[in-house]
Structure 1
């Protein structure tokens, strides 16, 4: 509970510092740009963990936010993320998603912030996109999937990325993803996959090595 309180204070301070927000802040707010859905459908993906992609628009999102007294939403791309084996496709998709997020922030500066998507497990591509998303687009942090194709966050291959996240003292939002193989529903598997990701960070010592990540 104490850790949750610290994270909540960190995010609230982040939002209030940028936009002088006073009200509820939704940090688990997914966007579904039409080009993202079309890109996934183009490679045969029509669902997220068995559920069809819902319709989404910023206007509808703000309407829901207003009905629920949400002042600001920090947006992110949800499962299945942006990596789909082909590096050039995945890098391009991450770039388009992040530029779209930045556009939302410009058009609705008091309503939306954004976590950047990174094309992991392509670490080189992720580092390049991190630099662009934070330094050029001024996004607020990053979203990392609990695993991508079985690579969990404690994977030694991610050391360079975590070192950079730590150096920048960035906010990292961890979101569950489809596990390598599963026949159970997201309601059961998502909490377990998040636990696996956190466990790999704990048991590999990453949480201690990179303690400046928020």
Structure 2
């Protein structure tokens, strides 16, 4: 796939390097800014598989037959990392383990967990794109580097493109370029921009355009906009991130954005946060005139897509299955925020989850994503199990 306006390997032009004052303005906490925005853990990654170095590249370009589709799958190609270092968002040396993302290790993790394809995304904190010039350059670097990854490995990756939500007119242009020219599978949106959640009226033109395009939107948390309360031994990604996703979902419901955009497909990270569990409370408040409309909450529960990167567990799965349409639950690992060894653990736990029968597990692992993401499906030449096995037993 050709990428207009860039070489197959996107180059950061030295002339475009920002002034030091701009780097300082964006580099709040330096590497911590990107780490906080992505919710990336810094635990060292365990060995993922025994794939040999000689066979890794060849095997890596052949997706496992009927393998999983990972919709919560992050990547940091070299051009993107170089840009983050130039901006002062990552240090040149050291930093969190995820910042040393490598394609070889990613393919090993995919092979070890029978993942046919990952839909790559880069959850850059919205503050990084506050300056318009930085937003124009940074979003282009992010999206074109991910498009290059897909061009090089078309049957192993798709991608969700970034947009600069702080500049709505620019974000509409960026979405159009990513979807029309770069072949993105959808758009990633962080839950908030300058303290405003996604249902804020300022973002309405972007949502209207994406609805017109029948686009997929992947909603990713970045922590509570007012800041979390530090608890000893409890990192913010354990509770604050799911709450951030829950807030974003409720805001999309209460603002009417979800109902005004009926053709938009919205994926909520981490199993929808606490939304499935707290939906009854929201509905009760609505009946009292103190919250979102009860009927709107019920519609939204069946309308949203949810990934399994909470991760799901015997505690969470029954609630999600009761609240959501099982055809809208998607496999997600949160790699490399979650290191290789843990990706294996949560994937095995999903396979053994007693709440999931064979058909539902198959739909979550693969079929639901194939129906949602037609470009990736076309590259894989894939069909769902139900297309091959009509009337298969549950």
State the 1:63 CA deviation: 1.1
Q: Give the TM-score normalised by structure 2.
A: 0.46
Give the strand-richer structure, 1 or 2: 1
Match of 1:6 in 2: none
Structure 1: which 5+ residue stretches go unaligned? 1-18
* 2:171 counterpart of 1:126: yes
State the 1:38 CA deviation: 3.8
Deviations 1:127-171 (A, max 9, x none): 010110011111111111111221210010001000011000011
Cα separation, 2, equivalents of 1:73 and 1:136: 20
Deviations 1:26-70 (A, max 9, x none): 0000011234334334444349xxx82521122221111001100
Residue number among 242, 245, 264 corresponding to 1:191 in the alignment = 242
Match of 1:63 in 2: 108
Match of 1:80 in 2: 125
Residue number among 50, 67, 75 corresponding to 1:31 in the alignment = 75
Larger Rg: 2
Match of 2:253 in 1: 202
State the 1:79 CA deviation: 4.3
* 2:146 counterpart of 1:101: yes
* 2:175 counterpart of 1:175: no
Q: CA RMSD in A?
A: 2.0
Q: Give the TM-score normalised by structure 1.
A: 0.83
Match of 1:154 in 2: 199
**Conserved? CA contact 1:76–1:143, under 8 Å:** yes
SS in 2 for 1:182: coil
Match of 1:212 in 2: 263
Cα separation, 2, equivalents of 1:123 and 1:91: 12
State the 1:82 CA deviation: 7.4
Greater shift, 35-44 or 122-131, is seen at 35-44
**Conserved? CA contact 1:79–1:178, under 8 Å:** no
Cα separation, 2, equivalents of 1:206 and 1:69: 37
SS in 2 for 1:142: strand
